[in-house]
Amino acid sequence: MRISVITNWAYAATVVLTVLSGSAFILSATSANRERIAVEEHLALSDLAEGLALGAEERTDEARLYVMRDDISYLDAFQGKEAEERLRERSIKGIRDLGVAPIELQALDDVQKNADVLDRIEQEAIALYRKGDQAGARQALFGPEHERIQTALLSAVTRFRDLVNARTQAVMQDTQKRSDWWGFVAKTLLAVTAAVFLSVLYFILKRRIAMPLMRMTGIVTRLARQDYAVDVPLDRRRDEIGEMNEAIHIFRENGLERDRLDAERRRDQQTKDLILQMMHRLQACQAQDELAEVVALFAPQIFPDLAGNLYIMNESRSTLSRISSWHEPRRSEPVFPATACWGLRRGRPHASSREHGDISCQHLDHQDAMGLCVPLTAQGDVVGLLYFEERPQGHIQAEASRLYLELIAENIGLAAANLQLRDKLTNLSIRDALTGLYNRRSLDEDVNHHARDREMEQLCCMMIDIDHFKRFNDEFGHDAGDEVMRYVAQTIVDTIGEAGRAYRFGGEEFTVLLPGIGDAEGFDIAERLRSNIRGLPLSHRGRILGPISVSIGVGSLAEGAAVSTLLTRADAALLEAKAQGRNMTVMASVLLPDSKRRGSA
C-alpha cells in the first residue's frame, strides 16, 4: 500500500479518535458539572432547612424574652425575624419550582406548615401579652402545644435534610459513575490515538520512510560521486519509496551504461589515435624492415588481445614470407605459398574458425583458436597479408574491430607497395636493368665513399671481361649475348656472396669491389670465379652457346696507391690478362710500370 494512502487513513483515524476522545472528555466534564450542581443544591437546601429551624428557634427566643422582660427591642427583633421568615418562604417557593423530589417537597411542606403554626402561636402570645394577659402569653409560649409544634418543626427539618442528603448522595454516585465512565472512554480513546500516532511514527516514518531514506542517502551520495559500483538493492514495494528506489536503480543502470559507453568511446578514440600514429609512421618508413618494426610496435597496442604476423609477397608473387610478428601466434606458418590462403584467393578478409563454420586456410594448423587473414592490397595488386589470431584471453570483436583491421591493412598495403615501388625505382637508378648488378654510377659513388671515409681500409678490385663476347652476338644473336651477360653476372654474385659488391662497368665488362680483402685472397676469389664461369656450358633456345670464359684483372690498395687509381690499375691488369691470351687472372701488383697500357678486346 502506498505511503500516502496509509498516511491519509492514519490521519483520518487520528482525527476521528481525537474527536471521540474530546467528546468523551466533554461528557465526563458534564457529569462532573452535574455532580457540582447537585452538591450546590444539597448545600442550598441544607442551608435553607437549617435557616428555617434556626429562624424558628430565634423567633421563639425573641418572643419569649419580650414576654418575660417586656423589652421592646425583643419585639423589634422578633418582627425582623419575621421578615427573614418571609424571605425563606419565597426561597421555598423557588425550590418547589426547581422540581425537587415529591417526598422532599412533602417534608418541606411539613416544615413550612409547622413554621407557620409556630409563628401563629407566637403572634397570638405577643398579642395576649400586649393586651395585658401575661399568664396567657406565657402559657402559649411555654406550653405543651408550643413545644410539640417546635419539636415537629425540628423533626421535619431533620427529615428534609436526610432526604436531601440521600438524593444528593445518589445523584453524586450516578454522576461520579458517568464521569468515571466517560473519563475512562476518553483516556482509552486518547491511548488508542497515541498508539496510532506512535505506530505511524514507527512503522511509517521510521520503518517505511526514515530507514529506507537513510539507506538510500548513502547510495545517492555515492552515485552523485559517480561511484556506480555501489549495490542498489531492488525494493519491490508498491509505494513512493519503492518508486524512488526503482528510480535510483534506473539512474545507476544508466550511469553504468554511460560509463561503459564512455569507456568504449575512450577506447575507440585511443584506437583511432594509435591508428593515426601508425599511419604517420608508415608513411615515413624508408625500408621494409622499418615497416615491419612499426607494425610489430603498434598492432599489439591497437589489438592487445590478438597475436599476429605480417607477410610480404615475393617478387614472383607466389610465396609469402613473415617479416614481423607479435604476441607469438601459434597457428600460421612463417612461409607459405599464396594459394594456401583463402583470404588471398578471395581478395577479402577470411576468418578460419570452426565456430564460424567456414573452411580454414591451408597455412594454419587445426587448433580451435580463431584466425583472421586480411589481404594487403594496393592499386588492385596483393602485396602481402596481415594475419591475426585469438589469444587465450582475447577474441576478435565484431564489426568495429573488423573495420579497423581493414583500415590498417589498407594503409600497410599502401605503405608496402610504396616501399616496393621505391625499391624498384632505386634499383633502376643504381642497378643495371639487364644483369641486375649495380651500375657504373653506383661504382663511382662507392669508390668515392671509400676514398673519403675508409681510405686506410684494404680494398680489392676485380675488372672482369667476357672473352670473345662479340662471337655470341654474331653467331647466336643479341638475345644470346644478353643471356651470357646475365649468366656471368649471376655467377659473379653467387661466387662473391656477402664478401663484396658486383657492378656492370660497361658493355661486357664487370667490376667487383671486395672491402677488407688483400691481394692474395682477392686473387683466390677471382680464380674461383673464373673457374665457376668456365665450368658449365650455356645453352639458349636449345642451342649450345659453347664454353664461356672471362679475363680478370685484380688490383688492391696493398701497393700503397690511392683509391682513385684502383680502377685504372685493375683495368691495366685486365688488359694484361687479355694480352696474354685471355681466360686468366692477372694481379696489378706484378705488372711493370710500362705494362700499363690498354689493348683491344
By annotation, the residues acting in catalysis are 508
Say which DSSP state 364 is in. Answer: B
Report the distance separating Cα 489 and Cα 494, nearest Å: 9
Distance CA 488, CA 501 (A): 14
Name the grid cell of 560. Answer: 700503397
DSSP letter (8 states) at residue 456 = T
User: How many beta carbons lie within 10 A of that of residue 44, not counting itself?
Assistant: 15
**Looking only at Cα atoms, what is the longest distance across the chain?**
221
Query: Cα separation of 466 and 234, whole Å?
Result: 95
Name the pairing type of β-strands 509-515 and 350-352: unpaired
Pairing verdict, β 543-546 and 538-540: antiparallel
107 burial via Cβ count (<10 Å: 0-12, 13-18, 19+): buried
Nearest Cα to Cα of residue 332 among 311, 316, 312, 303: 311
Of 305, 310, 273, 263, nearest in space to 291 by CA:
310
- 571 strand-pairing partners: none
The Cα–Cα gap between 175 and 179 comes to: 6
d(CA 150, CA 56) in angstroms, rounded, equals: 8
